[in-house]
A = this chain, B = another copy of it.
């Protein structure tokens, strides 16, 4: 998983300014192998920055996703975010707990297994996610 330092480095390289709030958003995401909602991130960041505007959280999250610092998915009509898995670009997918957002990596990517893609579509992306309940959520 990407480290906080690596993420801050990417920001710097791209000409974004350093702010404690940005670091804290990244730090919160780095603390867990889980997808978090914007709301969850907001709640946690308020411990350190009580007056934080949610516009700031949403704007930064969206920047981070563009820069590849965060990965995004969607569950129950709500965006969820986690620190990008790897800096080396090894492409893979996730098993996601639908209760708590906890994830587990899957090494296979189904795209390599598709023999024939239709000719009349220009492929731009794909999504493969396995959903389930994690051990912790099962026992509670």
Residues of chain A at the chain B interface (Cβ within 8 Å): 74, 77, 79, 95, 97-98, 104, 106, 108, 110-111, 113-115, 117-118, 120-135, 138
Contact = CB atoms under 8 A, between A and B. Distances in A.
Nearest to A111: B130
* Dominant secondary structure at the A interface: strand
A115 B133 CA distance: 19
A33 to B, nearest CB: 12
A120 B108 contact: no
Given A120-B134, A133-B121, A110 B95 contact: no
A121 B108 contact: no
Contact of A104 (B77, B79, B121, B134): B121
Contacts of A118: 95, 104
A128 B130 CA distance: 9
A7 to B, nearest CB: 25
Contacts of A130: 111, 114, 117, 121, 123, 125-126
Contact of A77 (B74, B123, B138): B74
